[in-house]
Amino acid sequence: MIVENVPADRLFWRFLMLTAAFIVAFLLEIFLPFVLGVYVWKKFGANWKVFALGAAAFVVSQIIHIPLLGLYQRGFTLLGITPTTMPFLQFNLIHALMLGLLAGICEEPMRWIAFKLLKKQGDTSRAAVMLGLGHGGVESILVGLSVMNAAIALIMWNSGN
């Protein structure tokens, strides 16, 4: 986009709408997991400890996953697999498949362990839902914090700071 050819009022509205979208996304990604957790807790009597167990399972999976991403990137570079050595679509398809597989390899065993720990306390569907809310909720919250960071950077860039 060439900024010089866009009228200032249109740039302002684009900035305003983008900022509003960032704010809505941030609020949903931060608060929705808790709102759903409160709903399941009040309606079905689920335990918040199970929510925390799901959240912990996700955090531990990321402690394993993130260093593996660095090894994965280094391995591809050492093998000479870069966007310049193969067609763009093929490169991105390989990366999408490998990154998805790596995420699954890291997250699913932790989720399985969390469900095994949960089973010792008594296996109920409400506990399973609460565990899933904790696991997905902490991921949503981390994405929300990333969105907030991007929104702050956008606002600072636009204000000239």
* pLDDT for 12: 82
Which candidate, 161, 139, 143, places its Cα nearest to that of 152? 161
Mean pLDDT, rounded, for 74-101: 87
For residue range 116-147, list pLDDT tens digits in order. 998 876 678 889 999 999 999 999 999 999 99
Element (H, E) at 64: helix 48-78
Full-prediction pTM beyond 0.85? no
DSSP state of 117: H
Length of the chain, in residues: 161
Domain segments of the chain: what residues?
Answer: 20-159
Helix, strand or coil, per DSSP, at residue 114: helix
